[in-house]
Structure 1
Amino acid sequence: MVVTSTQPQPHAGFDIPKELEDAFIKVSFEEIKNSPKAQNIPGFDPMYSPVVVNASDRRAATEIWAFQELRGLYPNHSIVPSGNLNILGYPYAMFKPISPKQLILNAMFIPLSRRASEKPGYIVEQVTYGTFVVAWDKYEFLLHVIRFPIINYGYVTYSYLLHEGPEEPAHRLILEAGLHDQELHNEIYVFNQGFWRKDPELWHEIQKANWEDIIMKPEYKEEVKKDVYGFFESEQIYKELGIAWKRGMIMWGPPGNGKTITIKAIMKDCDAKGFAPLYVKSFQSYMGEEGSMQMVFDKARQMSPCVLIFEDLDALINDRNRSFFLNQLDGLSNNDGMLCIGTTNHFERLDPGLSERPSRFDRKYLFDNPDWEERKLYSKYWQNKLAANEKISFPDTLVDDIASRTADFSFAYLKEAFVSSLVLLAAGPGKTKDFATTIKETIQSLRRQLEKGRPTLWSRTGTEVTKITVIGSGTIPQAEPDMVERANIAHALGRPFI
């Protein structure tokens, strides 16, 4: 190793005093780097020291510097750089660090839901710098990973895949890993803050939704299901008729009447049938709402056939973004195989271009407060759920009585009547009140709330917005959008992640 003095280049707008110039030294690893044996020393990573020096220096375009360094270290290797390569998350390749002592890992704690696991969370390690030997198919590669800061942005990670020979095997590995990374593995694509991420928790949540738990008139339920699943089964018919294979639906009505659980059941079934469900949470992002819309529809076109969910459509679409949204919905781009479903509690707030224009959202389903027949169906649903409980008497006469007493109740209010009554019975053992008396009193209490117009937990005043940091004229997320997703994959594979 050679240590030599060097004169630092003055920074733009900043002159280094003469008396400080001798304080700067440059550590050169040329002798090690140029040694023909450097690449083959067991347990030695020849790229480690240059990276450490580079991280301590004023620099720009680190990804280009790293490429040049690697080309000097491995003259017989092809080098394929990538800014979004998730090779370490590919389960069909094997990995081993060249030098564990020269591996820089950032330990992170990932919390878990207390209801989902006995453990509070787990530790995963993110690669800040590391070099790995990769075995895949019949090939062997070197994978260099470098994570470095970008001013006013955060951190980016660059990966370099090296192969002693042509680039074609590396391209094949990247293609296979990329295809695997894009597939959904018990996950749902969710768009928020300008990024798509795969959400396993939402996937598990929608598995709880069943059409049997959705109370509506049988013919109405079948019509909804036919519109959704019939669309995906009718591609050939659309083509024979010479019309675009796309459709839009709006589910509207007062809150608490089954729109969300119906959406969950649709997402669950579409996922099981191979039609990817894509859920849009917000268009607000650092790139602006139009940029977000472009990303949403580009992803939907890529994943087609798919179902694209816009919950609370009236909150997502406004005067600023409406024109661009409508252009994405039925403009020149090919939206074949795309079923768009929007929900709203306030149909009257929707622009006529959305709610009335044919070929956009041409199917509309009202989820209104239940009528007497539907309230009776809901009471029968609970009667069946409680049939095995010998402590609760639930005769048919009570079914009709509940339906009659709950006029103008939403399904959410009906559910609250049953849940609150059962909680009261469970909390007060030994009391003389039976189920019938308890639920009638609960209905009376809910009726008083309804008549006073008090806001309840079922009302919704807007959409949830995650905190973001404002930088310049845009916004930057506080955390990388797919960090938890990649951490979960790494935890499952027992590896660090990029």
Structure 2
Amino acid sequence: MAYPKITGLWTFVRSLLVLRVLLPPAAAPPPHSEADFNWMDGALDDVYGGRSVHTHYRLFESVKKQHPNSQILSLDDPNFDLSGFFTSKNFTEDVLIGTQVPNQHIMLTRSDNSRSFRRFGPFHDEEETYQRPTLEKSLQNGVFEVDYASTHFNIYLFHWKDYAPMRAIFFVFDSEDETAGTQLVQDVYHWMDNLKNEIWVFDQVWRKDKDMYKVVQSADWKGIILEADMLHNLRRDTSVFFDSEDAYKSLNVAWKRGILLIGSPGNGKTEAIKAIIKGASVNCLYVKSFRSPRGPENGIRTIFKKARQSAPCILVLEDLDSLLEPMTRSFFLNELDGLESNHGILTVATTNHPENIDQAILNRPSRFDTKYVFNLPSSYLRKKYIEMWLLKLENLGIVVNGDQYANTQEFGQELSLRTEGWSFAYLKELFVSFQLSRAALQSTGVAAGDTTQEIFQHVETLSKQVVMGASGSDDKPDTAISDASSLRAMRVVHMGRMAH
């Protein structure tokens, strides 16, 4: 496949230089000049000019000509996180990439660590402080040197595109055998496979996410307001499973399970997922998308391959209806419930729109055995949730006072009646917006007034948004799950009626 040569990019790519990274105690070899690596111009010229066939082998051949007496190990794993491994050894990205050395081909990407004041979506509905966006650097084409375990390595990195984005890594070192290179690769994979205050997240590739781990740590089953039976059974189904391998074996049943959480947005599914992850005794794998550089089918295969390698584990598929596409349906079914074993995998999925999920996925036994419906909260549940927030305000030193109510319980009862049809998300927004307005008043020196009336004013404002949301075309509250006949048709397990 031929690609046009882009002059500006090619000028940038041709300027490649060696990067030196020193890991004590090995001594540094003599310095190299840029001329030592001019041979890479020709190799990359063929790649970017579309004249290279069997690109990975041709690049290997070029490296071998420069190091005829050295050991060379090649790797094409797109998930191989060599940069992260060296960074974990207390080498900053600037040192690893060597920004003090000009004319090498690096890529700048915006850091995920930047935060806006409010961020919404799965696991990110809380307030966050603003941080100035930063740029992260990664070496795309070039070579760096590293001394690891008393062996000196030249490590070549190449990126190009054939039918999909491709990458090759070549480890060059002087030794009688491949032991030193193999050990480095194994150490990187060992580091990649072990989590330390992280969660595995798939978004085109697998990566370890510290930010999501921190957010999950704030979860608490005590803060999840559900009917008692439903809460008990949900906790049981997601904890007892991993202690039940022998029971499944004695019944000659595959040790795997699928749980589907159904309901309109804002009714606790994500909070339940967070609590499940936090309380799990095994690793959790969280899937944001089925997309991958080599297509969604490859993404699905990569996801389930990682889950099988990590088992026993929890595989979380949030918003399953948005992950699935007609072209990937059969492929997903084969991975979920095909010939390959999913031994020890608890799959937990959520959906806002079960009507958009194929019945072969929704209702077939052994795929999602148990389903829980997260409906809009009843008056009783709203009252419990409101009382929890009133206690939070009290702990923050905000006194809920008013002449009309004898105590906070009486006020909470009235507030629950005025919020009929509200989701937990809207109730949370009520108290957050109240706190923000109260803080704004205090900053201007205005004395606090009748707290209950202030809260009712926010109820009136938010009620308009609730009505608009209920009449919208996209996320109509419970249109797919409120009708009793629809529930029976989907054989949904609701409020603790379990199907084992």
What TM-score results when the alignment is normalised by the length of structure 1? 0.72
Equivalent residue of 1:299, what SS? Answer: helix
The one-letter amino acid of 1:231's match is: F
- Structure 1 gaps, min length 5: 1-11, 13-39, 462-498
Once structures 1 and 2 are overlaid, which stretch shifts more, 293-302 or 201-210?
A: 201-210
Matched, 1:147 2:158: yes
Residues of 2 paired with 1:237 and 1:379: CA distance?
A: 41
CA gap 1:237/1:103 in 2 versus in 1, 3 angstroms: farther
Give the drift of 1:90: 3.1
> 1:289-308 to 2 correspondence within 5 Å?
289-308=296-315
Alignment of 1:42 with 2:30, yes or no, is yes
Whichever residue aligns with residue 270 of structure 2, its letter is T
Residue in structure 2 matching 1:129, options 142, 146, 151: 142
Query: Do structure 1's residue 90 and structure 2's residue 99 form an aligned pair?
Result: no
What secondary structure, in the 3-state scheme, does the structure 2 residue paired with 1:191 have? Answer: strand
Q: Which amino acid aligns with 1:90?
A: F
Of 349, 360, 372, 1:365 maps to 372
Q: CA deviation at 1:103?
A: 8.5
Q: Hey, what's the Cα distance between the residues in 2 that align with 1:165 and 1:86?
A: 27
Instruction: Indicate how the Cα distance of structure 1 residues 455 and 106 shifts in structure 2: closer, same or farther if over 3 A, else same.
Output: farther
Residue 146 of structure 1, CA deviation: 3.6
Q: In the alignment, what sits opposite 1:492? A: none
| SS of aligned partner of 1:321 | helix
Question: Secondary structure of the equivalent of 2:38?
Answer: helix
Q: CA deviation at 1:459?
A: 4.5
Displacement after TM superposition at 1:267 (Å): 2.0
**Structure with bigger gyration radius:** 1
Contact 2:43 2:62 in 1 (8 A): no
C-alpha distance in structure 2 between counterparts of 1:93 and 1:442, whole Å: 51
Q: Deviations over 1:296-344 (max 9, x none)?
A: 2222112211111122222333444333322222111100111111111
* Maintained 8 Å contact 2:148/2:184: no
2:170 paired residue among 135, 159, 164: 159
Could you say if the C-alpha distance between residues 446 and 63 of structure 1 is closer, same or farther in structure 2, counting changes exceeding 3 Å? closer
**Pair 1:396-2:409 in alignment:** yes
Q: Is the 8 A contact 1:90 1:177 kept in 2?
A: yes
Q: Quote the offset at 1:122 in angstroms.
A: 5.3
**In structure 2, distance between residues paired with 1:218 and 1:126:** 53
* Contact kept in structure 2, 1:310 and 1:343, CA below 8 Å: yes
Deviation at 1:248, TM superposition (A): 0.6
Which of 64, 72, 75 pairs up with 1:79?
Answer: 72
Amino acid at match of 1:195: V
The corresponding residue for 1:23 is none
Residue 156 and residue 434 in structure 1: after superposition, are their counterparts in 2 closer, same or farther (change >3 A)? same
Deviation at 1:228, TM superposition (A): 0.3
C-alpha separation in 2, matches of 1:134 and 1:328: 41
Kindly provide the amino acid, as one letter, of the partner of residue 258 in structure 1.
G
Q: CA RMSD in A?
A: 3.6
Deviation readout 1:118-143 (Å, 9 max, x if unpaired): 5542554526322414221xx41322
Residue type of the alignment partner of 1:44: H
> What is the CA–CA distance in structure 2 between the aligned matches of 1:448 and 1:62, rounded to whole Å?
60
Q: Evaluate the alpha carbon distance shift between residue 44 and residue 325 of structure 1 in structure 2; reply closer, same or farther with a 3 A threshold.
A: closer
Bigger relative contact order (CA 8 A; separation at least 6): 1
Q: Which amino acid aligns with 2:368?
A: F
Q: Please identify which structure carries the higher strand content.
A: 1
1:83-122 alignment, distance < 5 Å: 83-84=76-77, 86-91=81-86, 104=104, 106=106, 108=108, 110-111=110-111, 112-114=113-115, 120-121=133-134
Alignment of 1:421-460 (within 5 A): 421-429=434-442, 430=446, 433-451=449-467, 459=475
The whole-number CA distance in structure 2 between the counterparts of 1:68 and 1:451 is 66
- Alignment partners' CA distance in 2, 1:314 and 1:446: 28
Candidates 199, 211, 220, aligned match of 1:188: 199
Task: Return the offset for 1:448.
Answer: 4.7
Q: Judging changes above 3 Å, is the alpha-carbon distance between structure 1 residues 48 and 354 closer, same or farther for their aligned structure 2 residues?
A: same
CA distance in 1, matches of 2:102, 2:430: 62
State the Cα distance separating 1:422 from its structure 2 match: 3.1
Superposed, 1:24-423 pairs within 5 Å as 42-44=30-32, 47-55=36-44, 60=52, 63-84=56-77, 86-91=81-86, 104=104, 106=106, 108=108, 110-111=110-111, 112-114=113-115, 120-121=133-134, 124-126=137-139, 128-136=141-149, 139-150=150-161, 153=164, 156-192=167-203, 194-270=204-280, 273=281, 275-285=282-292, 287-388=294-395, 389-393=397-401, 395-423=408-436
* Identity in percent: 32
Q: Please tell me whether the aligned partners of residues 307 and 345 of structure 2 are also in contact (alpha carbons under 8 angstroms).
A: yes
Q: For the structure 1 residues 337 and 173, does the alpha-carbon distance in structure 2 shift closer, same or farther, using more than 3 Å as the test?
A: same
**Alignment size in residue pairs:** 416
In structure 2, relative to structure 1, the CA distance for the partners of 1:365 and 1:397 (3 Å cut) is same
Distance 1:384 1:368, change over 3 A: same
Q: Is the 8 A contact 1:103 1:129 kept in 2?
A: no
Aligned equivalents of 1:144 and 1:427: distance in 2? Answer: 56
Question: Does the 8 Å contact 1:214/1:262 carry over to 2?
Answer: yes
Tell whether the 8 Å contact from 1:103 to 1:130 is kept in structure 2 after alignment. Answer: no
Distance 1:163 1:243, change over 3 A: farther
CA distance in 1, matches of 2:240, 2:379: 30
Gaps of 5+ in 2: 3-27, 116-127, 402-406, 478-500
Instruction: Answer yes or no: is the 8 Å Cα contact 1:187–1:200 preserved in 2.
Output: yes
Q: Distance in 1 between matches of 2:433 and 2:385?
A: 16
